[in-house]
Structure 1
Amino acid sequence: MQNARSTPGASRLNATRDAVIGEIRNAPLLSLLIFVPVVLITEMVSPEAHTLLFFLSVLAIVPLAALLSRATEAVSTRTGDAVGGLLNATLGNLTELVISLAALQAGQYLLVKASIAGAIVTNTLFMLGGSFLLGGLRYHVQEFNRVSARFQACLLFLATVAVLVPSLVGNVDQGAATLHKLSLGLAVILILVYAMGMLFSLKTHRELFASVSEASEEHSSWSLATSITVLIVVTLFVALISEVFVRSVQAAAEGMGMTPAFVGFIVVALVGAAAEMTTAFSAARANRLDLSVGIALGSASQIALFVAPVLVIVSYFIGPEPMSLQFWPGAVAMMFIATMAAALLSNGGRGAWYVGVLALAVYAIFGLTLFLLPPASPS
Structure 2
Amino acid sequence: MDRALTEMRTSPLLWLLVFVPVALAGERLWPERHTLLFLLSVLAIVPLAALLSRATESVAERTGDAVGGLLNATLGNLTELVIALTALQAGQYLLVKASIAGAVVTNTLFMLGAAFLIGGLKHHEQEFNRITARVQSGLLFLATMALLVPSFVAQVDGRQAVTQPLSLGLSVLLILAYGLSLLFSLRTHKEAFASAGHGKAEEEPWPIRFALVTLALVTVLIALVSEVFVSSVQIAAETLGMSPAFVGFVVVAIVGAAAEMTTAFSAAAKDRLDLSVGIALGSAAQIALFVAPVLVLVSYVIGPQPMSLQFWPGAIVMMLIATMAAALMTNGGRSAWFVGVMILMVYAIFALTLFLLPPAP
Q: TM > 0.5 between the two?
A: yes
Helix, strand or coil at the partner of 1:93: helix
2:28 alignment counterpart:
44
2:250 maps to 1:266? yes
Deviation at 1:153, TM superposition (A): 0.6
Letter in 1 for 2:151: S
- Tell me the number of residue pairs that the alignment of Structure 1 and Structure 2 aligns: 359
1:151 alignment counterpart:
135
Question: Structure 2: which 5+ runs fail to align?
Answer: none
2:310 maps to 1:305? no
Structure 2 CA distance for aligned equivalents of residues 186 and 257 of structure 1: 38
C-alpha change, 1:307 and 1:285, in structure 2 (3 Å) is same
2:355 maps to 1:375? no
Residue 135 (structure 1) aligned to one of 102, 111, 119: 119
Helix, strand or coil at the partner of 1:296: helix
Structure 2 CA distance for aligned equivalents of residues 319 and 297 of structure 1: 29
2:159 alignment counterpart:
174
Deviation at 1:119, TM superposition (A): 1.6
CA contact (8 A) 1:112 1:264 kept: no
1:240 alignment counterpart:
224
C-alpha change, 1:98 and 1:18, in structure 2 (3 Å) is farther
Deviation at 1:219, TM superposition (A): 7.8
Higher alpha-carbon deviation: 279-288 or 158-167: 279-288
1:34 alignment counterpart:
18
TM-score, normalised with respect to structure 2: 0.88
Helix, strand or coil at the partner of 1:180: helix
CA contact (8 A) 2:66 2:278 kept: no
Residue 221 (structure 1) aligned to one of 206, 210, 231: 206
Q: How does 1:79-118 map to 2 (within 5 A)?
A: 90-118=74-102
Structure 2 CA distance for aligned equivalents of residues 215 and 204 of structure 1: 26
2:273 maps to 1:289? yes
CA contact (8 A) 2:66 2:274 kept: no
C-alpha change, 1:289 and 1:376, in structure 2 (3 Å) is same
C-alpha change, 1:165 and 1:372, in structure 2 (3 Å) is same
Letter in 1 for 2:16: L
CA contact (8 A) 2:125 2:335 kept: yes
Higher alpha-carbon deviation: 226-235 or 350-359: 226-235
C-alpha change, 1:40 and 1:336, in structure 2 (3 Å) is same
C-alpha change, 1:236 and 1:350, in structure 2 (3 Å) is closer
Deviation at 1:41, TM superposition (A): 2.3
Identity of aligned residues (%): 70
Structure 1 CA distance for aligned equivalents of residues 360 and 296 of structure 2: 23
2:199 maps to 1:199? no
Higher alpha-carbon deviation: 352-361 or 52-61: 52-61
Higher alpha-carbon deviation: 328-337 or 255-264: 255-264
Larger CA Rg, structure 1 vs 2:
1
2:169 maps to 1:185? yes
Helix, strand or coil at the partner of 2:107: helix
Question: Structure 1: which 5+ runs fail to align?
Answer: 1-16
